Amino acid sequence: MVATPETAESSQVMSASDVERALTRIAHEIVETQRGTEGLMLLGIPRRGAPLAVRLGEKLARIDPSFDPAASVGALDITMYRDDLRSGAARTPEPTHVPDAGVDGATVVLVDDVLYSGRTIRAALDALSDLGRPQTVRLAVLVDRGHRDLPIRADHVGKNLPTSREERVSVKLAETDGVSAEQEGVVITR
């Protein structure tokens, strides 16, 4: 059964402060895994992955002042690499911005809001391979909801959220959704 506005039941599973705590933890995990920030690049997947990458970059700079977010954070549009272009609604490509150093030899952390089937990340890996050859590619997501169609897993997860396929997970951010900072969070709709 598809939830209609009359039958949909929503509940907030992460508040704005939960999102910030999760991003802080992910930033610390990245530094620990990387043993610092040298050679590190964050590439957010638009729409919501891009502002999350910027926020992670700011947190990394607070942890390690040698990390320069302006020179190490970018956005990777995957629109033309999606495998549902023929079947889905038309999508407007977002700009891709790769820091001047390029991806060759870098440790690239792809950043996205929700990991579900894995198809978005597969498209991101294809897009990334067209840009160059990173040393290592890792994945950081705010929410991992399960139900993979492809063998992809996140290295850094803000919250594991077991869901059914009928549920919808929505991330609301000030940068993309026109909500105030206090209204940010993650909502699950049944």
Instruction: Supply φ then ψ for residue 43, to 5 degrees.
Output: -125, 110
Residue 11 covered by a domain = no
**Cross-sheet strand order for the sheet of 185-189:** 10-14, 185-189, 168-172
Residue 60 covered by a domain = yes
Q: Is the pLDDT of residue 117 over 50?
A: yes
Mean pLDDT taken over the chain:
94
Q: Is the pLDDT of residue 1 over 50?
A: no
pLDDT band with cut points at 50, 70 and 90 for residue 89:
low
Residue 31 covered by a domain = yes
CATH of the domain at 143: 3.40.50.2020
Residue 3 covered by a domain = no
- Give the pLDDT confidence of 9-48 residue by residue, as tens digits: 999 999 999 999 999 999 999 999 999 999 999 999 999 9
Residue 175 covered by a domain = yes
- Give the pLDDT confidence of 143-162 residue by residue, as tens digits: 999 999 999 999 999 999 99
Query: Domain tally for the chain?
Result: 1
What is the separation of C-alpha 107 from the centre of its chain, rounded to a whole number of angstroms?
Answer: 16
State the residue range of the domain holding 48: 16-189
Amino acid at 81: Y
Range of weakest confidence among 32-36, 49-53, 79-83: 79-83
Structure tokens given for 141: 């997501």
Cα separation, 88 vs 77, in Å, equals 17
Amino acid at 174: A
- Pick the closest to residue 69 from 84, 58, 82 (CA basis): 58
Residue 8 covered by a domain = no
Residue 1 covered by a domain = no
Helix (H, G, I), strand (E, B) or coil at 78: coil
Cα separation, 77 vs 110, in Å, equals 11
Residue 65 covered by a domain = yes
